[in-house]
Structure 1
Amino acid sequence: MKPEMSFRQITPEGPVSVTDIDLRALAEIYAEENVYLSVYLPVSRENEHVNRVFVNSRVGAIKKVLPADLRPEFEKTFDMAEELLFEPAVSGERGRIIFASAPDSFLHVYRLAVEPEKSLVLDTSPFLLPLARLRADYEDYGMLLVDSREARFVCIRSDIAEEKKHLSTDLMKKHKKGGWSQMRFNHLRKEAIKSFFSEVVENVQGTCDELQTRGLVIAGPGEAKQELVEMLPKDIQQNILDVIDVPMDISGDKLIEAGDSVLQEDEFESSLNRSKEFKGEMLKGGLAVAGVEDVRNALEQARVNVLLIVKGSSVPGWICERCQNLQANTRPPEQCDRCGGPTSSVNIVEELYELAQRTGAEVEFIEQRDFLDSDDAVGALLRY
């Protein structure tokens, strides 16, 4: 399917979060021939020479095997992307993704604050699996940095820190001789802290309602953060990923590093739980299937609730670019046995991922050691 006119040109100037990239819309795009160029590169001065060598090597390899009738279109597509590939990095940019197709006047350029693995692919559709892995690794989450005087709510989006709220209060200083009694002073100070925390709770509730994040990390020095946790509404408490000790003057980079460590641990536990759920369903003959063929059939019937993909997996096969007939572990025939359309070699895992996006299924990347004692690269938890 060709991209909508409004979706053909996207070139934001600054770094974006991977969660801002519309994977579902990208997964809807495909052509009958190999006209979509996808490039993933880390971006820095140190990477520039390595990137040029890598790009030149891949472009040369593609030209050697591309049919003569498609070479002019590929050269036009590469011309669209080439200058953008090697532009100097903007502030905060560590990676760049480019999707381009001259025949469809399609050009998307995404500057990222995280580094992707190098990849350059020419295919019948945008190559999305590396982006999907990045998205799984860098989900949005909130961080509340708090002590008894100050609170900062920061949303971490692909290692981009966006401050949403900053509250502070002027607590009473240590009282002078002849002033209030110590007991009276301490009581008033506690009431001031409680009032401040009540304001923080109200703002956290409003901010969390506005954002769609994986969860919330509570951070700060001392015991104040734990007092605040106890005041938070139950629904927010249930979404707390962890409570960690950090100083209030922690640098932005260190704050992101601490939050990412929490998120990675939560991701690991989530993946492990999905694997256990999947194995349990398989053991009792429940709502789960394994293997490319069964998973493909379930996806085509929109029965998949969660697609499980083994990290780093790849399955060779072919697809018909006309009717989307998908076959694993076989070489592509000259024409599709279903509709007679053109076929091309594909990574079946990539195609299953795109099908999951089109049918609204969740995707979970899991470690091989947590999956099955077999060579299966994919499994699925079913809706029915």
Structure 2
Amino acid sequence: MSSQDAEESDRKKYEFRRVIEELNEFEGSGTQLVTIYVPEDRQISDVVAHVTQEHSEASNIKSKQTRTNVQDALTSIKDRLKYYKNPPENGMVLFSGAVDSGGGQTEMVTRVLEGPPQPVESFRYHCDSDFLTEPLEHMLADQGLYGLIVLDRREANVGWLRGKRVEPVKSASSLVPGKQRKGGQSAQRFARLRLEAIDNFYQEVAGMANDLFVPERHDLEGVLVGGPSPTKDEFLDGDYLHHELQDKVLGKFDVSYTDESGLYDLVDAAEDALADAEVMKDKSEMEEFFKQLHDGGLATYGFEPTRKNLVMGSVDRLLISEDLRKDVVVYDCGGQEEYEVVDGRHSTPEHSCEDGSKAEVVERADVIEHLIEIAEQRGTEPKFISTDFEKGEQLYDAFGGIAGILRYETGV
């Protein structure tokens, strides 16, 4: 995956995460919040027909309020579907319903999420007091593509780890004879034949892995190899794998089974290595940030200094905590713009202009969207940083979730 693709993927995941958080805050007074998951290969006409049928069946709901709200939600979804000839890539998810807005009042909300991070696997209609977001949350958690190999001298299995999903793909059985030689064979000749059979089997396993992994090597986060000793050691030490895959091996792990279940055991055994790999890139960015902060001078942090450096075009990489949930309010203060970062859930606060003039609100926007928009105009690469490690937590807690690595010193 190119850096641009990774950037777009991270931003899309952030946008999805914000919408999911918003949807999870909504509650309906009854089973009146409708969620529909639509796979990419589903005909829009089929979805419309299903919505129409549900609208008709909703007339049987005893509660007048719930009946009206469900039918209104389905009508809203049907209206949205008019804009689609086909579902987008990876499918789409539609949410609609009357949510509690306080004081005994309700408000109709409708959201359409196009092209989730992972394909929608099946059509699903759900009507409850909450929107169904768990499948989307699982998609967001599914990060990383890893190659899996388990082998001993009898059998081998090769597959994928896509996020949290293990996908067995290929298997092989060996012709390696047991350690007991057959009658009439000399010990030396038997040992030679056995070594040749082991070597042939290792080549076969490597061939399976190479065929599967090499075409995906640019998206591949790493390769995990499991099995008993000394098999996995012999396999890796013998350089059977393609050299680009050999460089991506994250480790070798003791696994008792080498059938398909061994792939799952391998993922469990490699839990620590996988956790480290997921945040390794983030760790590298933060280590460089702290190095520049203490010794190099090519670091900025906090909203206002980082924004000023972004506008100047001096920021090479914009570092944003993936847990940041803030808005930026732009005020007009006597013809000059002033900025204030506020909690995304709170109302716009009163602002005191530095020159004493009256502050007028010009804009309120998500702070991440605001900064990324400037970054895109200046050729700056945004990086979303996890809080799953110490320095990632420090970015959020000590630096307000916003920092940057500079191209040159600015004094800002």
- Give the TM bin, normalised by the shorter chain: 0.5 to 0.7
Equivalent-residue separation in structure 2 for 1:342 and 1:235 (angstroms): 52
Structure 1 residue 257 and structure 2 residue 278: aligned? no
**Which residue number in structure 1 is paired with residue 228 of structure 2?**
221
Q: 1:197: Cα distance to partner?
A: 1.4
Structure 1 residue 108 and structure 2 residue 114: aligned? yes
Contact preservation (8 Å) 2:251, 2:273: yes
**Which residue number in structure 2 is paired with residue 23 of structure 1?**
9
**Which residue number in structure 2 is paired with residue 312 of structure 1?**
323
Structure 1 residue 381 and structure 2 residue 362: aligned? no
Equivalent-residue separation in structure 1 for 2:375 and 2:74 (angstroms): 28
Judged with a 3 Å threshold, the aligned counterparts in structure 2 of structure 1 residues 174 and 283 are, in CA distance, closer, same or farther, namely: closer
Judged with a 3 Å threshold, the aligned counterparts in structure 2 of structure 1 residues 319 and 305 are, in CA distance, closer, same or farther, namely: same
Contact preservation (8 Å) 2:319, 2:382: no
**Which residue number in structure 2 is paired with residue 238 of structure 1?**
247
1:343 is matched by which residue type in structure 2?
Answer: E
2:146 is matched by which residue type in structure 1?
Answer: Y
**Which residue number in structure 2 is paired with residue 160 of structure 1?**
165
What does 1:320-331 align with in structure 2 at a 5 Å threshold?
327-329=339-341, 331=348
Q: 1:354: Cα distance to partner?
A: 7.4
Contact preservation (8 Å) 2:322, 2:386: yes
Judged with a 3 Å threshold, the aligned counterparts in structure 2 of structure 1 residues 360 and 97 are, in CA distance, closer, same or farther, namely: farther
Judged with a 3 Å threshold, the aligned counterparts in structure 2 of structure 1 residues 298 and 209 are, in CA distance, closer, same or farther, namely: farther
Equivalent-residue separation in structure 2 for 1:78 and 1:109 (angstroms): 22
Contact preservation (8 Å) 2:224, 2:266: no
Query: Deviations 1:162-206 (Å, cap 9, x if unpaired)?
Result: 234323322224555532122221211111111221233333334
Q: 1:26: Cα distance to partner?
A: 4.6
Structure 1 residue 55 and structure 2 residue 27: aligned? yes
Query: Deviations 1:80-125 (Å, cap 9, x if unpaired)?
Result: 39xxxxxxxxxxxxxx994669999954375979xxxxxx99xxxx
What are the ranges of 5 or more consecutive residues in structure 1 without an aligned counterpart? 1-18, 30-35, 43-50, 61-71, 82-95, 114-119, 122-129, 335-339
Contact preservation (8 Å) 2:302, 2:400: yes
**Which residue number in structure 1 is paired with residue 38 of structure 2?**
none
1:80 is matched by which residue type in structure 2?
Answer: I
Equivalent-residue separation in structure 2 for 1:26 and 1:374 (angstroms): 26
Judged with a 3 Å threshold, the aligned counterparts in structure 2 of structure 1 residues 215 and 251 are, in CA distance, closer, same or farther, namely: closer
1:80 to 77, 80, 90: 77
Contact preservation (8 Å) 1:38, 1:100: no
Counting matched residue pairs gives 301
Structure 1 residue 365 and structure 2 residue 365: aligned? no
Q: 1:356: Cα distance to partner?
A: 6.4
What does 1:258-297 align with in structure 2 at a 5 Å threshold?
258-297=269-308
Equivalent-residue separation in structure 1 for 2:14 and 2:398 (angstroms): 31
2:274 is matched by which residue type in structure 1?
Answer: L
What does 1:164-179 align with in structure 2 at a 5 Å threshold?
164-175=169-180, 177-179=182-184
Alignment partner of 2:201: what SS? helix
Alignment partner of 1:266: what SS? helix
Q: CA RMSD in A?
A: 5.2
**Which residue number in structure 2 is paired with residue 66 of structure 1?**
none
1:343 to 363, 380, 386: 363
2:229 is matched by which residue type in structure 1?
Answer: G
The worse-fitting range, judged by mean Cα deviation, of 298-307 and 175-184 is 298-307
Equivalent-residue separation in structure 1 for 2:267 and 2:296 (angstroms): 43
Contact preservation (8 Å) 1:311, 1:368: no
Judged with a 3 Å threshold, the aligned counterparts in structure 2 of structure 1 residues 263 and 151 are, in CA distance, closer, same or farther, namely: same
2:28 is matched by which residue type in structure 1?
Answer: N
Judged with a 3 Å threshold, the aligned counterparts in structure 2 of structure 1 residues 301 and 376 are, in CA distance, closer, same or farther, namely: same
**Which residue number in structure 2 is paired with residue 201 of structure 1?**
206
Equivalent-residue separation in structure 1 for 2:196 and 2:22 (angstroms): 54
What does 1:119-138 align with in structure 2 at a 5 Å threshold?
134=140, 138=143
2:405 is matched by which residue type in structure 1?
Answer: L
Equivalent-residue separation in structure 1 for 2:26 and 2:330 (angstroms): 27
Q: 1:153: Cα distance to partner?
A: 2.1
Query: Deviations 1:30-64 (Å, cap 9, x if unpaired)?
Result: xxxxxx9933699xxxxxxxx7x95338xx9xxxx
Structure 1 residue 191 and structure 2 residue 172: aligned? no
Judged with a 3 Å threshold, the aligned counterparts in structure 2 of structure 1 residues 299 and 26 are, in CA distance, closer, same or farther, namely: farther
Report the TM-score when normalising by structure 2.
Answer: 0.55
Equivalent-residue separation in structure 2 for 1:379 and 1:133 (angstroms): 28
Structure with the greater relative contact order (CA < 8 A, sep ≥ 6): 1 or 2? 1
1:245 is matched by which residue type in structure 2?
Answer: D
2:248 is matched by which residue type in structure 1?
Answer: N
What are the ranges of 5 or more consecutive residues in structure 2 without an aligned counterpart? 33-68, 79-90, 97-107, 120-129, 332-336, 343-347, 352-359
Q: 1:254: Cα distance to partner?
A: 4.0
**Which residue number in structure 2 is paired with residue 38 of structure 1?**
19
Equivalent-residue separation in structure 2 for 1:278 and 1:24 (angstroms): 20
Q: 1:215: Cα distance to partner?
A: 0.9
Q: How much identity, in percent, do the aligned residues show?
A: 24
**Which residue number in structure 1 is paired with residue 88 of structure 2?**
none
Contact preservation (8 Å) 2:148, 2:158: yes
Contact preservation (8 Å) 2:160, 2:168: yes
1:183 is matched by which residue type in structure 2?
Answer: Q
Equivalent-residue separation in structure 1 for 2:176 and 2:170 (angstroms): 19
Mark the structure with the bigger radius of gyration.
2
